[in-house]
Amino acid sequence: MSPPHSAFLVPPADQPQELISRESRIWLGQHHVGCLNYMSGCGPRSVRISYALVGDRILFQVPDYNEIAHYAPGARVSFAVDEGAEPATPAIDPGPMIEGIKVTGTAELESETDGSPPESGFFEESWPDGVRTSIVTLPLTDLQVSERAPT
C-alpha cells in the first residue's frame, strides 16, 4: 500500500539534495504561516505561527511572555507548512509538486528586541511599543517534503 498523499516523504535517493533544498526554499518563501510543535511544561504543543525564511534558517518572532520563547530554544522542535496556508505571493511558476514541508531540529534563541521591528524587516507583523520580543530560529537541515499526488 502506498503512503497517503499527505505523508511526509524522505527525499528520493536519485534526486540531488541541493535541488530538493532549492525547491523547498522557494516553496517555503511563498508561504508565511505554519505549525510549530514543541514540548512545554504541560506537555506537547502545536501552535500556528508566522515565520520568515532567511538564508538557511526559519525565524519566528514571539513576545517574551509567550511560552515558545521559553520552551523552544535548546529543544528539538518540528515545524510544518502545508498548502492549507495560502501562499503570500502568487507563484509565477508552480515549480515542484510540493504539498507540505516539515522541518525538524533544535531551535535557538537568536535575539531579543524591544518590540520595534528587526533591522532587516523580515516579519510582516509588528508588536506594540514596549512589548519585548524574541527571535527563535530553526535551521533548515532536516527537511521532509510531502509531494502532491498526481491528478
Tell me the domains of the chain and their CATH numbers: 17-147 (2.30.110.10)
C-alpha cell at 150: 498526481
Determine if the pTM surpasses 0.85. no
Share of the chain above pLDDT 70, in %: 70
Q: Which amino acid is at 143?
A: L
Does 96 score more than 90 pLDDT? no
77: exposed, middle or buried (Cβ count in 10 Å: 0-12, 13-18, 19+)? buried
- Dist CA 146 CA 134 (whole Å): 30
pLDDT (tens digit per residue) in 13-55: 444 444 457 888 888 988 889 999 999 999 999 999 999 998 8
Q: Residue 121 contacts by C-beta under 8 Å, 6 or more apart in sequence?
A: none
